[in-house]
Structure 1
Amino acid sequence: MRNWISALALGASLGTVHAANLDQQQAKALAQEAYVFAYATAEHDKVLSAIAAKLPFNRLYSEARLLGPQDTKVVSPNNDTFYSRALLDLRSEPVVLDVPAVQGRYYSFQLVDMRTDNLDYIGTRATGDQAGRYLIAGPDWQGEVPSGFSGVIRSPSRLVFLLGRTEVKGEADQKDAAQVLMGYALQPLSKVSGGATPEPLAPLQLPAYTDTKQGPAQALFSTFNALAPLHQWTAAEQKKLARFAAIGVKPGVAFQAPADLDEAIAQGAEAGREQVRAASSQLSVEQQGWFPSPSNVGKYGDDDLTRGAVAWRYIYANDAAEALYPMALHDTRGQILDGQHAYRLHFPAGQLPPVNAFWSLTLYDGKTQLLAANPVQRYALGDRSPGLQYDADGGLTLILQADAPKAAPQGNWLPTPQGPFNLLLRLYLPKGGALDGSYQLPTITRIES
C-alpha cells in the first residue's frame, strides 16, 4: 500500500509553480500544452472504464466474433481478428499470461500502458508460434522471477491494457479461430507459483469517461488527474507535470482551475483539442491521398502531439514492425472521400500489400471513425476475402460506393456511407518495402458519372 500512497502524493509534491506567477496568455498556453500532453491518457479511459464496468481486473475476456458498427468503444476497430482483452491491475503482484502453440495463424498480445505506449509483445512475430508463459509486472514489484517463464515484461504503469488479436481467415474459419482463444489463460503470479497471496488493496475506481471530442475541453483534465497516479512518470514528464500543476493539472488531485485564470485555461484547453484534432488528419506527409503510419507509433517518447493525434484517430495502433496503418482521407485529386461519389481503388500487378501475415482495407464513417453500417454487412476487403476477382494482369481493383455496382464484381465492392468516409489499409507483419516506404500505395480515383 505504501507505493500506492506515494504515487497519489506525487500531485502534491509537483505543485511548485504557482498560478500567481502566470498571466492570462501564459495560462492559456500552458493549458494548451497540458491538453496535448494529457489527451491520450484521458481518451484511453473510454476503453478502460467500459471494460472495468463489465469485467473484473485481471480477467481475460476473449470474444469469438468480428466487430461491427454496433461496437462504439474503440475508434477504427478492425474486422479481421477476434479480440481478447483484459485490464491488468499490477499494483500488488504481477500476472501471468499463458499462450498455446499457435501455428499457421497470426496472433498477438499488445500491452498498452497509461500513456498509450506499447510495451513488449507476445505473439507470432515477437515470441514465435510455440506455447509460452509470460510474466507481466508493474513498477512496484521487486520479487524474484520463478523458473519456467518464457519471458518477463515490465511496465511503468500500474494498470495495463492487454489487447489480443487472433486472425480469422474468413467465415468458415471462425470455429477454428475460436478454439485458439480457449488456449489463452491469465492468472496472478501467486496462483501460478503457489506463493502467498498479497494483502488485497483497495479496489481501483476509474473515472467515468467524458467524451473528449465534445463538451468543455478542460473536462479532460479531471479524467487525467484521476488516472495519472497509475503511471510511474519519467523525470522529463515530472518536470512537465510540475509546470502543469499551476493550472490544476495534478496527479491524484481533483481538477480545479484557479478562479482568475479559469477562462484562459478553458480557452487553452479548447486550443489544445483543436491542435490534436487537426494533427489527427495530418499524421504524416500525404502521398496521393494516403497518410502513411507515423514512424514512432506505439513508442512516442516526448512526441505528445503524435501520441494524441493517433489516440484521436486510431487508438491502440501497433508498432510498425507488427502492423502498418496507412490512412486515406482524399482521392488522387485531393478531394475528401465522400459516399456521394463512387471511387475505384487500384492495386497494380505486383503491388498488392507486402506482408508476412495478412492485409485488409477497412472503411470508416468519416465523422465517427466507426464501421459504417451497410446492407451487405461488409466492412473490409482483403487477402482473405472469398469473393475477390483479380484483374487479368494480377492486379486488383476495388469499387467504393454507396450502392451495389452494376458493372463490377460484387465481391470487389466495399460499401460507403452517404457522407464522408476514410480508409485504413492494414498490413500485418509488413515486409521491408512497406517498412522502408518504397511500397507504392494504391490509387483512389473518383469515378465520373
Structure 2
Amino acid sequence: MKTALVVALAMSCLAGVAVAQAPNRAGTPSDQEISDSWIYLFTRILVLRQQQLDFQEGFKWNELRHRKPGAVDWPNPNLDVAYSEAWVAVDETSCTIVTVPKIVDRYYTVQFLNGWDETLANINERLFPNKPDGEFAYCLRGANVTLPADVRRVDLPVKYARVLLRVELGDNWDDAVRLQQAFAFRATGSPKLPDIPKTPIFDLERLPGVELFDYADIALDSEPDLNPGLEKQAADARAIGKAIKDQAERERVAKVVREQTYPEYAKFGNTIGHGVIYNGWARPAVVGNYNIDFIARTLVTFGGIWANVMPEVLYYRAGTDGTGATLSGDSSYTMTFPKGELPQSLAKYFWSVIAVDPVHYRVLPNPRGRYLLNRETKPEYASDGSLTLYFAAEKPANAPDGNWLPTPKGSGYRLTFRFYGPIGGVANGTYFPPPLVKTR
C-alpha cells in the first residue's frame, strides 16, 4: 500500500481556520463540489506525473525494466522484493506477451494497473494454479488476435496499462534477481502508441492548487474512469476547468482549495480515507480497487502509488505511538507481539516493517544500512515465545541486533507494516499490530 498523506506541515497555517461556505452564483460549483472534484482529479494527475517521469527516464512501451533491489524512487517501496516495471500498449490487433519463469516457493506477481491506479489483474500461481508459468497474453477485451495454443490470454478493458512485477528477495538475492530477469515482455504486433499528456510535474511537498483544474479535460479524455458512480466528480472537474477561465471564479476556486480542500485532505490522511486507526496503526478500508472511494484512491496513490489489492498484501501505517504522540527519532520505542499473534502467523508469505519520512514517504537512510525488519533480519524471540521489535536511533542495550530498526535522530518518521498474503485477522479486518511503546 502503500499509504496516505497528512499535509500537516504544509497546512499548519490553516489549523483552526473556520471555512465559510460562500453563497454561489447560479450554476457555479459549490465549495464542497470543488473540494471533492480536486481530490478526485488528483489521482489521475499523480499517475500522469509518474508516467511522464518514467518516460523521461527512458521507458519504452512494452519493454520491461528490471530494477536492482532497493533501486526505486516512489513512496513507500517494498524492500522485500525485486521490482520490474513497464508501460504496456495493446489494441484491437496486438497483444503483449508476458513470459513468466518457473518459480517455486517464492512469492511473485505481475500486477496490471490502469491510469487511475486501479489494479486490473495479477498473474501468479495463486490466480493461475493450472498454469503458474510460461506465456500469458495481455489483450484488449474483444481484440481479434490469434495466439499460440499454449499462451494464456488475460483480457483487460484498457489499451494502456502500468505493470509492476514483484519477486520476493528472501535470503538468496542472487536467485531472486536471476528469476526477476527471466521475466520478459514482447508485443505481437505494432499497437498504436498514445501521446503522453503533458500535465504538471510538481514536487510532492507543494500540492497543486486551482491549476489542477486547467488539466481536467486532458486528464479525463486520456483515460476515462472505469468506476461507476464517479461520473458526477468527473463532470464537476470538467465544469470547474471551464468556469475558472473567468478570473473572479478562478480566485474563488483557488481560495476554496487553500482553505477547505487541503485541510479536508489532511484530515482524511490520518485514516487513509475511510479507514480505521487502532493502537496507533491506520488500516485502509480499501486498497488496490476503490469503487466509489475516490478519497482513499488519491491518498493511497500519493502515499504509495501502485498499491496492490488486499488479497495480495495489506499495509498498516503508524505515525504515532499507542498514546497518540508523534513518532520521533529522538525517542526509542518497542512493539511486542504475543506468542499467539506473531506477524508470520498472519501472513501466508512474508511480513516486514520500514521507516519512511513523513512528507515524501521515502525510506530513511541510516549508518547501519538497515532499512527494514523482516524474517531475513533473523529477529530473536523471547523465552515466552513473544517477539519484540525496537525502533531507535541507537541500538538499545537489550535489543537483539535483528530486532532493531534504526530511526532518524532529530526528525519524525512513519512506519509501514506489510503482510503479504494476509490471513486471519489481517485479512478480515479484526487485527491491528501492537502499539508502539515509548521507552525513553
Whether these two folds match at TM > 0.5 is: yes
Where in structure 2 are the equivalents of 1:149-168 lying within 5 Å?
149-156=151-158, 158-168=159-169
The separation in 1 between residues aligned to 2:33 and 2:246, in whole angstroms, is 13
Deviates more, 1:271-280 or 1:315-324: 271-280
Q: Which one of the candidate residues 398, 422, 436 is aligned to 2:428?
A: 436
Structure 2 residue identity aligned to 1:301: N
The separation in 2 between residues aligned to 1:208 and 1:260, in whole angstroms, is 23
Structure 1: any 5+ residue segments left out of the alignment?
A: 1-18, 191-196, 250-254
Question: In structure 2, do the counterparts of structure 1 residues 300 and 215 end up closer, same or farther at CA, with 3 Å as the change threshold?
Answer: closer
The separation in 2 between residues aligned to 1:175 and 1:262, in whole angstroms, is 55
Match in the other structure for 1:366:
358
Alpha-carbon shift at residue 378 of structure 1 (Å): 0.9
Question: In structure 2, do the counterparts of structure 1 residues 148 and 34 end up closer, same or farther at CA, with 3 Å as the change threshold?
Answer: same
The separation in 2 between residues aligned to 1:239 and 1:367, in whole angstroms, is 31
SS of equivalent residue, structure 2 residue 349: coil
Where in structure 2 are the equivalents of 1:52-201 lying within 5 Å?
52-53=55-56, 54-67=58-71, 71=72, 73-90=73-90, 93-128=94-129, 130-138=132-140, 142-144=143-145, 146=147, 147-156=149-158, 158-170=159-171, 173-190=172-189, 197=190, 200-201=192-193
Contact 2:64 2:84 in 1 (8 A): yes
Return the TM-score normalized by structure 2: 0.85
1:266 aligns with 2:254: yes
Deviations 1:273-298 (A, max 9, x none): 3322321221222111111232x211
Match in the other structure for 2:269:
280
SS of equivalent residue, structure 1 residue 121: strand
Match in the other structure for 1:9:
none
Contact 2:333 2:391 in 1 (8 A): yes
Contact 1:30 1:268 in 2 (8 A): no
Question: In structure 2, do the counterparts of structure 1 residues 87 and 282 end up closer, same or farther at CA, with 3 Å as the change threshold?
Answer: same
Q: Percent identity?
A: 24
The separation in 2 between residues aligned to 1:224 and 1:85, in whole angstroms, is 27
Match in the other structure for 1:46:
49
Alpha-carbon shift at residue 312 of structure 1 (Å): 2.5
Question: In structure 2, do the counterparts of structure 1 residues 264 and 396 end up closer, same or farther at CA, with 3 Å as the change threshold?
Answer: same
Contact 2:48 2:115 in 1 (8 A): no
Deviations 1:347-396 (A, max 9, x none): 1112112111111011111232110110011111012223x221112211
Q: Which one of the candidate residues 206, 211, 214 is aligned to 1:214?
A: 206
The separation in 1 between residues aligned to 2:407 and 2:120, in whole angstroms, is 35
The separation in 2 between residues aligned to 1:375 and 1:166, in whole angstroms, is 27
Structure 2 residue identity aligned to 1:85: E
Question: In structure 2, do the counterparts of structure 1 residues 223 and 136 end up closer, same or farther at CA, with 3 Å as the change threshold?
Answer: farther
Question: In structure 2, do the counterparts of structure 1 residues 351 and 121 end up closer, same or farther at CA, with 3 Å as the change threshold?
Answer: same
Question: In structure 2, do the counterparts of structure 1 residues 202 and 366 end up closer, same or farther at CA, with 3 Å as the change threshold?
Answer: closer
Question: In structure 2, do the counterparts of structure 1 residues 346 and 236 end up closer, same or farther at CA, with 3 Å as the change threshold?
Answer: closer
The separation in 1 between residues aligned to 2:96 and 2:26, in whole angstroms, is 45
SS of equivalent residue, structure 1 residue 443: coil
Return the TM-score normalized by structure 1: 0.83
Structure 2 residue identity aligned to 1:126: L
Contact 1:28 1:266 in 2 (8 A): no
Alpha-carbon shift at residue 203 of structure 1 (Å): 4.5
Match in the other structure for 1:10:
none
Alpha-carbon shift at residue 204 of structure 1 (Å): 3.5
Alpha-carbon shift at residue 443 of structure 1 (Å): 2.7
Contact 2:88 2:96 in 1 (8 A): yes
The separation in 2 between residues aligned to 1:50 and 1:207, in whole angstroms, is 11
Structure 2: any 5+ residue segments left out of the alignment?
A: 1-23
1:419 aligns with 2:402: no
The separation in 2 between residues aligned to 1:28 and 1:309, in whole angstroms, is 20
Contact 2:371 2:405 in 1 (8 A): yes
Contact 2:96 2:187 in 1 (8 A): yes
Contact 2:111 2:165 in 1 (8 A): yes
Match in the other structure for 1:309:
299
The separation in 2 between residues aligned to 1:187 and 1:206, in whole angstroms, is 27
The separation in 1 between residues aligned to 2:181 and 2:418, in whole angstroms, is 26
SS of equivalent residue, structure 2 residue 276: coil
Question: In structure 2, do the counterparts of structure 1 residues 100 and 335 end up closer, same or farther at CA, with 3 Å as the change threshold?
Answer: same
Match in the other structure for 1:356:
348
Pairwise CA RMSD? 2.4
